Amino acid sequence: MGQNGGMDEVASASVGGTFTTFTRDEWFALAGKTPLPLTEQDIARVRGLGDPVDLVEVDHVYRPLSRLLDLYSAAIGSLHGVTDEFLGGRASRTPFVIAVAGSVAVGKSTTARLLRELMARWPSSPRVELVTTDGFLFPNAVLQDRGLLLKKGFPESYDRRALRDFVAAVKSGEPTVTAPVYSHHTYDIVPGASITVNQPDVLIIEGLNVLQPASLKDADGAGPLAVSDYFDVSIYVDADAVDVRRWYIDRFLSLRETAFAQPDSYFRMFASLTDDEARERAGEIWDSINAPNLEKNIAPTRTRATIILHKGATHAVERVHLRKL
């Protein structure tokens, strides 16, 4: 992918046959009378560092997206109804599972949190849970032993079987399922900590590599399965690589003055860098770790998504690609 945007042009062309593309205005027009229940205060609470999403962006992009997801969920509910009738009352409704994928610094966490806020206001889904795949990274000690510490975020740095089993358990209707907790402050899994998911109406899974296909290496008695096999809808947050690189560097500079400056931060070493030194170091990290991961692992899964939100240079979504049914 690099910095010349070459892969971005190829990727944009590749969605033509299997996706219907909407301009921002065309997409906004689909919202109709769908209400916008969020306020500026709600958006400020979930907005990610460096992501300037505002009420206009939520109104134009996420309001119609929320309406479409509501329709998808209702359609699956109808399918459940007829299946349950056919099976004589033996089919139980399971959570509606949505994946949000994309690069580091592209804004996928903000997208996931906005969807959680919007969907929790649906009359049909008051219980919405959001789980990030960071909790399924191997602990640093394991990554160190395997020579993977500098490849954190690559597919091989995750316990993919544990992640798959977690989503499968939620999707199958297990009453209580737990997931490990990751701390961005300590840059590691929190020992003994977990979050509990109790039969939500909607589960949102957010992470870099959630759309990875199954690997034969992960095969067990049930055959090779990927976590994506349990998704009802998947969303890929997309942008040109040169823009994401700039956003990453800008975020790095902001973190240097906030989270990195805390005494017990794993990244405390970066807090004293000058602006020029910080930009150079962030660029090196992006070019050596995040760009290769995006090019080799994340971007190739883009067209596996149900919906692609393509952002322009200002972080605003300019086009929406919707997979044809």
pLDDT per position as a tens digit, 6-20: 334 334 446 668 899
Residue 311's Cα: distance from chain center in Å? Answer: 15
Q: Is the pLDDT of residue 87 over 90?
A: no
Q: Is the pLDDT of residue 220 over 60?
A: no
Residue 151 has a pLDDT of 95
Residue 8 has a pLDDT of 40
Mean pLDDT on 151-171: 95
Residue 305 counted as domain residue: yes
Residue 16 has a pLDDT of 63
Mean pLDDT on 29-50: 87
pLDDT per position as a tens digit, 277-300: 999 999 999 999 999 999 999 999
Q: What percent of the chain has pLDDT over 70?
A: 92
Q: Which two tokens stand for residue 100?
A: 């949000």
Q: Is residue 204 helix, strand or coil?
A: strand
Q: Which two tokens stand for residue 42?
A: 């709600």
Residue 217 has a pLDDT of 58
147 touches 130 (CB < 8 A): no
Contacts of 175 (CB under 8 A, 6+ apart): 198, 199
Residue 1 counted as domain residue: no
pLDDT per position as a tens digit, 251-266: 999 888 777 878 888 8
Residue 273 counted as domain residue: yes
Written as one letter, the residue type at 106 is V
69 touches 233 (CB < 8 A): yes
Q: Is the pLDDT of residue 94 over 80?
A: yes
Residue 187 has a pLDDT of 92
Query: How big is the CA angle at 262 (ends 257 and 264), to the nearest 5 degrees?
Result: 145
- Local confidence band at 123 (pLDDT 50, 70, 90 cut-offs): confident
How many domains does one find in the chain? 1
CATH of the domain at 206: 3.40.50.300
pLDDT per position as a tens digit, 41-57: 999 899 887 788 999 99
Residue 3 has a pLDDT of 38
Pairwise CA distance, residues 98 & 104, whole Å: 19
Residue 270 has a pLDDT of 87
Mean pLDDT on 52-71: 93
Containing domain of residue 247, as a range?
Answer: 6-323
Q: Is the pLDDT of residue 216 over 90?
A: no
Pairwise CA distance, residues 259 & 271, whole Å: 9
Virtual torsion, Cα 294, 299, 301, 302, nearest 10 deg: 140
Q: What percent of the chain has pLDDT over 90?
A: 66
Query: What's this model's pTM, rounded to 2 decimal places?
Result: 0.90
2 touches 306 (CB < 8 A): no
